[in-house]
Every structure is written in C-alpha cells, then in structure tokens.
Amino acid sequence: MSDRILIRNGRVITFDDADDMARRDVLVEDGRIAQIGRDLQVSDAEVIDATDRIVAPGFVDTHRHTWQSIPRSVAADWTLAQYFTGLRGMLGPVYRPEDMYIANLLGTLETLDSGITTLVDWSHNMIGPDHAEGAYEGLRDSGSRAVLAYGTANEDWLDPEARFDFSDVTRMREAHFASDDGLITLAMALRGPEFSSMEIVEDEWRIARDLGLRITTHVGCGGWGLGRKVAAMHERGLLAEDTTYVHCCTLADDELKMIADTGGTASVAPEVEMHMGHGFPATGRLLEAGVQPTISIDVCTGIGGDMFGAMRAMLAMERALRNDANLKAGRTPDYLDLTTRDVLRFATIEGARAAGIDDRTGSIEPGKQADLVLFRTDLLNMHPVNHPVGAVVLAAGVRNVDTVLVRGRVVKRGGELVGQDLDRVRRLADESRDHLFAQAGVQAGGRWAPAAVGEPA
C-alpha cells in the first residue's frame, strides 16, 4: 500500500474562508496532510473517491471514562449520586486488569466507528499497575489517537485526605511515554477540590507539573461544585493553561473568568449533565467568560457514545436558554448567535487544544497529521447537501461515517472498522460484563437502582 493517499473530490471543511460546498482534494503523505486543492495531479497514491462525501476533521472527545464501556446503559435512569454508588462504589472495585483492557478497547473502537479520532481517556479506576497497563493496551490496540489521563482508584475518591501515589505514573511515563509525540500521550486525571482537601490539591498539582503532565479535573459537578473551590485554587496560584476543567456547571461566573484569565480550557458533557443533575451545561457562560468550550461524552453508562448526540444537546440547550431569555424580555430573537460552525470547532480544534495536541490534529491544514472523517451524503438523511457543517452537526449519524483516518492510516473503510476482530471484542466484553455483575451482586435488565450517596457537605 502506498504511503500516499489522495482523497479526491470531497467537500472539505477546513475552518478557513474557503467555500465548504466547493469540491477539493486532500493529499496525505507519510501520515500528514501535504496539500489541499482542486484537481491535484498526483501519481502513485491510493485514491479515495469522496464525490459523495463531506471531509471533516476527526472529532475530539475531551473526557470519557472509557473503563465504563462494559456496564453501558445501566445508569440510564440514575442520578449523579446513584452513579457514585453503583459505578464507583460497587462495580469499579471489582474490575480486573483484563476488564480494563477490553473496556478500553471496546470503548475506543466505538469512538472510531463514530468519527472520534482523539479520545481523552479519563481513567479513574487505576487499582494497580496491571490495571494501568490494561487501560494503556486497550487504547494502543484500538489504533486511535488518545490521551491516557491517569486517575486514582475508586476508594481514594471516598477519602478527601487520601494521597495519590504517583509512583506508577512515573513508571508508566518511563515505560510508554518517554516522548510526547506518540499517538498516545499521558496526562493526569486529578480529583480536584470537590473530592480532596485543598492541601492535597496543591500537592497533586505540583507533582503533576513536576512530571510535565497536563491536568484534567472535575469541577462544578452539581452540589459538589458549590463553595467557590475554584476560587480557592486561584488564591493558591494553581490555575494555569495546562488544566482542563470538566463540567463547570455550578461554578460562579467569576470563577469561569478566573479559568479564562489563566488560560485554562473546559470540557462540557451536555447530555450527561442534563440527565444526571450536574446543572445546566455551562456553554454560554464559558463563552461569555472568554473560554472556548470543548465537548465530551463522559459516561456511556447513561447515554450513547457518539459526538452527534453531544453536539446537538449542547447546541439545543444553549439556544433554548438564549431564546428563553429573549422571550422573557419581550423580544423575538432576530438571529442565532451560536452556530453549527462554532459547535463543530468545539468538537474538533478546540478539543485538540484542550488535549495539548492542536499542533498535530483538530483541523485540516497542510502539515498536520491526517485525522479525517468522510461522511456519506448519498444516504437519505444527508442528501442533498446544502450546508456541509450544518449537516454534520445536526443531521449526521454513525451510519454516515464511511471512512476514518488516524495519522493517515485508514481505520474504517466503507462503513466497517479495519483490522479488528470484532467477534473477539464482543466475546471478551460479554465475559467481562458477566464477571463484573456477578462480583458486584447485580443483574442486567434495567431494574438495578442503587441508593444515592449522601449529598455533599
């Protein structure tokens, strides 16, 4: 197979001033985008005909607990407090290393299938080094681009004075992440001020930075997010551009401004936040504060795992809030100021920026690595094409994701994942599910409803 791929005659979304309806070619050489133009004259290249395709940057999911792919849908009718009991308190502790492996492989293949080419794996079930290896190997075997955000084990989340043991993070960095240029990179998933004392927060932030690792942390999570804890972090000088703040729903407006002023990024999980009681998604308030939000799925235990539902939930909720404010003021909105192009940016280039890899992915530009998605537009839900960006954000679904490239390698072609034994993946996932449910003493079927943990102090 040639190291050159020519994607011919597609409608290419580049976020520049080019006409999205115009047909262009994309030349990929050695995993990178070499040229974008019309009627490129190229020999000795594999040609992918994109005549009935929209070519877009791969999506970036900035926060997903991928280890929870095995008990998918069990929390469909749970609150956030029930989730803490059922997933973190009952299922999490009985995971074996092989469960971490197959959960990460299954979950990451799911993301690739839906056009997510970069996943921030918020892996907060690292019971021991073997579990961490299982999580890493699942990401590696998927062929996806990923950030392994190393988090502490479940029991540490129950004790605000528990101290994170960074020794295994150091081991993992030396074993697998000597360079930050690989397809998989390393970050820290820290409990943050809502689940640990401020003294612990200060120590953990310092150690993570000494290791040269980006940080991602939950803040503004329902009742746990009250009490101006981000402001307390700011007073200690902990806020910085190396940190992604997940959720932010119940943070005060001035705390969002503190994040903006220190260069931080934010990850919004709109579907989960509205379903489980985190609070309203902070999309509009983040924008007003000066933070470009990114989008995440969070947990497939309660919702689907593709970016399409998340983009639509984010856009619909924020438009509804703005329209309602206008109507309550006696005005009819003249236009919609949050656009589908904004939301596609949040799901791609802004996500790459939050993951610290926007120099290599997140947009279709010469020199960047070729993380690309080709959407079928000959299916009835996207034909005829009149607004490519609007179609991707508000009409597309997983069945439209025809071809996916990660760093120039085709991982999905003709609507099918390439080079994966899916029968094996499904078999291992079933075996893992049976083990986990038996060990936790619960049954599938939708009747399991754990008691909620106590409300936060």
In the chain, domain spans: 4-57+365-417, 59-351
Of residues 165 and 394, more confidently modeled: 394
| pLDDT for the residue 155 | 78
Q: What is the pLDDT of residues 187-205, one digit of tens each?
A: 999 999 999 999 999 999 9
246 — phi, psi (to 5°)? -95, 130
Is a pLDDT exceeding 90 seen at residue 452?
A: no
Is a pLDDT exceeding 90 seen at residue 269?
A: yes
Of residues 363 and 163, more confidently modeled: 363
- 295/452 Cα distance (integer angstroms): 27
Is a pLDDT exceeding 80 seen at residue 403?
A: yes
What's the whole-number mean pLDDT along residues 23-40?
A: 97
- 296/402 Cα distance (integer angstroms): 22
| pLDDT for the residue 158 | 77
Is a pLDDT exceeding 60 seen at residue 132?
A: yes
Highest mean pLDDT among 2-16, 90-104, 143-157: 90-104
**In terms of Cα–Cα distance, which of 113, 26, 29, 28 is closest to 69?**
113
Is a pLDDT exceeding 50 seen at residue 71?
A: yes
Domain covering 4-57+365-417 in this structure, CATH number: 2.30.40.10
Is a pLDDT exceeding 70 seen at residue 455?
A: no
Confidence of residue 2 (pLDDT cuts 50, 70, 90): low
Domain covering 59-351 in this structure, CATH number: 3.20.20.140
- 33/408 Cα distance (integer angstroms): 8
| pLDDT for the residue 3 | 86
| pLDDT for the residue 457 | 44
Tell me, rounded to whole angstroms, the distance of Cα 234 from its chain centroid: 26
| pLDDT for the residue 333 | 87
| pLDDT for the residue 266 | 98
What's the whole-number mean pLDDT along residues 4-28?
A: 94
What's the whole-number mean pLDDT along residues 176-187?
A: 94
CB 77 within 8 A of CB 446: yes
Residue type (1 letter), 185: T
- Tell me the torsion sign for CA atoms 52, 54, 55, 58: negative
Q: What is the pLDDT of residues 91-130, one digit of tens each?
A: 999 999 999 999 999 999 999 999 999 999 999 999 999 9
- 308/381 Cα distance (integer angstroms): 14
Helix%, strand%, coil% for the chain, nearest 5: 40, 20, 40
**In terms of Cα–Cα distance, which of 117, 131, 101 is closest to 403?**
117
- Burial tier of 223 (Cβ tally within 10 Å: 0-12, 13-18, 19+): middle
Of residues 162 and 400, more confidently modeled: 400
CB 30 within 8 A of CB 67: no
Query: What percentage of the chain has pLDDT greater than the value 70?
Result: 99
| pLDDT for the residue 243 | 98
Is a pLDDT exceeding 50 seen at residue 429?
A: yes
* Range scoring the smallest mean pLDDT among 44-58, 156-170, 350-364: 156-170
- 89/453 Cα distance (integer angstroms): 9
Strands 23-29 and 4-12: antiparallel
CB 225 within 8 A of CB 194: yes
Dihedral (Cα; 327, 329, 335, 336), 10-degree rounding:
-70
